[in-house]
Structure 1
């Protein structure tokens, strides 16, 4: 059965930036539905980095990815947003005019939305981990091979092999080392692309014999699938050796798949969506792009930048949703009407 839903705004992407857009829209009495291809709320923060610390969110000296998502969910609870998870937007059909936009949005689950504005907060599209070119690696995935750390306790007292030389590999090396029975880091060369202090911490652990560091590439997985027992590593001189491990975590980065967004008639630039910096609207009136999916001069791919973009986009969305209603900017600290919406005493 196909659902037909009428709402003010559809937000594509339920990561932190999409969630904060709910808050900004809610303050303006704008109702919204969120669609996300992932099975859970929170985007990359919840799916890939739930326990990774984030240090540049104003007001939080440190917050984990999942902690940030939990706080945002509590913040938007008064506005009762609706979530449609495990769904991907397949088509966006303009029905209105540039002055009075209207869109029909369809997902691969058969859900149809009619809305006056569309906010794309889909990060960089759909992200998939880059997999190492190892035969039969799929047989070990989810048991012996993981591409993300969702719960650190899963690796307690395990022999862990981390493969990679970037921030994710080094961050998890330092964070998982105290939990693991033995942790080994493998990289092709003795040069790392991670934060210098993290590299220094890793090297100090190696110097203290609290973990191992090897140079080379994994060429074979051993063990009766799906249980991993060891990996075969090849050095630059083509000699090989084995490292025992229960778990391998390859951090080779992510591959971005823009997906159906590429077919929505937007002017794309290197798989990103150009927007203005006044209201973060795309080349199609009524369609906005906030967060990592957009591009403009001076763009910084930071969560806090996405928050700012969502706040300004909401102001223009209000004009489409309430064309006859003048928008008066109000501070939440001084407006009793806004405080009532948030469920707090004025």
Structure 2
């Protein structure tokens, strides 16, 4: 028996930072929102992959931890009473005869709404796992991790970080403050991260007390029993090996990303992204919008602050779509305040 249909104004697919801010922007326009996310918590990648990673490009916040940013965005949305449907993903999106959209999730939740905002980030994602024999046992024990959710776990530990991008560099710089030793394995002598991060990394390596660069090497294997890690084997292309005594391995080889069911919703796509109009974030389907990393248009910048701007533009476009004959008397939040807030 099909689940009862829940009717509403807008459904937001994705409860990451940009989706959460869309709740606020819609709420300021008098529009209620429901959010669906495949994770069992709100916050998207900020919550699932790097809650303790500092973010530096939020206006007015010189530095904020990802988890703290999520908490503030959630608080900002609270006055508008959003409904969360977590730990389930939207499987189908179908337009009805009356122009509304019916969404059905992996848990059978059915939402009938007048507009949809897709804020799915990178879509379905997971870490790119290194091809190492016996990896699963070390993953199960927590000796191999693809994210840092609590820095304190690594205090006074020997950590091997593999990778040459921003995530590898950022966590090397962060964990160097508390780990006993941090080895960085990379297949080249050059790193792909931000120039300032590369300079700080090399300065720490030259100091030699905590950080050691292991280049040009690749991951070759793991040593240990019953999931307990004793050492990481680094190997050159010519077969030369180094044995690095370690308690943890953190491979940062990026995310494996795909749109999942979104790819089959009939929306205009461009290389696994949803094409939108830059002024409104509207897709080629009436009443469906896309914001954040999943959206693309000419000149697109994949920055969180741009995602926030897109949330505001999409919210105003949604209001015009829902109420085409009503003129909007717009007031700034400084004069209007937040409706319903104490």
TM-score range, shorter chain: over 0.9
Deviations 1:100-155 (A, max 9, x none): x3011000011000000010000121111111111121221151100111111111
C-alpha separation in 2, matches of 1:340 and 1:60? 21
- Contact 2:28–2:338 (CA<8 Å) still a contact in 1? no
Deviations 1:18-37 (A, max 9, x none): 00000011111111111111
- Contact 1:281–1:287 (CA<8 Å) still a contact in 2? yes
C-alpha separation in 1, matches of 2:178 and 2:83? 38
C-alpha separation in 2, matches of 1:7 and 1:138? 43
For structure 2, the residue ranges without an aligned partner over 5 or more in a row are: none
* TM-score, structure 2 as length reference: 0.95
Name the structure 2 match of 1:330: 331
C-alpha separation in 1, matches of 2:250 and 2:218? 13
- Contact 1:96–1:103 (CA<8 Å) still a contact in 2? no
Q: Of 103, 106, 109, which aligns to 1:108?
A: 106
C-alpha separation in 2, matches of 1:272 and 1:257? 9
Superposed displacement of residue 200, structure 1: 1.7
Deviations 1:158-179 (A, max 9, x none): 1100001111101100100121
Name the structure 1 match of 2:212: 212
Name the structure 1 match of 2:316: 315
SS at 2:222 equivalent: strand
Name the structure 1 match of 2:222: 221
Name the structure 2 match of 1:175: 174
Moved more, 284-293 or 139-148: 139-148
SS at 2:286 equivalent: coil
C-alpha separation in 2, matches of 1:3 and 1:214? 57
The 5-angstrom pairing of residues 24-173 of structure 1 reads 24-96=25-97, 101-142=99-140, 143-173=142-172
- Contact 1:120–1:289 (CA<8 Å) still a contact in 2? yes
For structure 1, the residue ranges without an aligned partner over 5 or more in a row are: none
SS at 1:93 equivalent: strand
- Taking only aligned residues, the RMSD between alpha carbons, in angstroms, comes to 1.5
Name the structure 2 match of 1:241: 242
Aligned pairs, number: 338
SS at 1:333 equivalent: helix
Name the structure 1 match of 2:194: 195
Runs (4+) of structure 1 moved beyond 6 Å?
none
C-alpha separation in 2, matches of 1:105 and 1:94? 9
C-alpha separation in 2, matches of 1:320 and 1:294? 19
SS at 2:309 equivalent: helix
- Contact 2:146–2:251 (CA<8 Å) still a contact in 1? yes
Superposed displacement of residue 236, structure 1: 2.9
* TM-score, structure 1 as length reference: 0.94
C-alpha separation in 1, matches of 2:240 and 2:320? 67
Superposed displacement of residue 225, structure 1: 2.8
Deviations 1:198-246 (A, max 9, x none): 1222222222222222121122111113211112221232122211111
- Contact 1:30–1:321 (CA<8 Å) still a contact in 2? no
C-alpha separation in 1, matches of 2:257 and 2:331? 38
SS at 2:229 equivalent: coil
SS at 1:72 equivalent: helix
Deviations 1:32-65 (A, max 9, x none): 1111111211011111121212111111111121
Superposed displacement of residue 12, structure 1: 0.5
SS at 2:122 equivalent: coil
C-alpha separation in 1, matches of 2:97 and 2:287? 10
Deviations 1:223-272 (A, max 9, x none): 11321111222123212221111100000011111100010010111111
Alpha carbons of structure 1 residues 49 and 340: separation in structure 2 relative to 1, 3 Å: closer
C-alpha separation in 1, matches of 2:302 and 2:288? 20
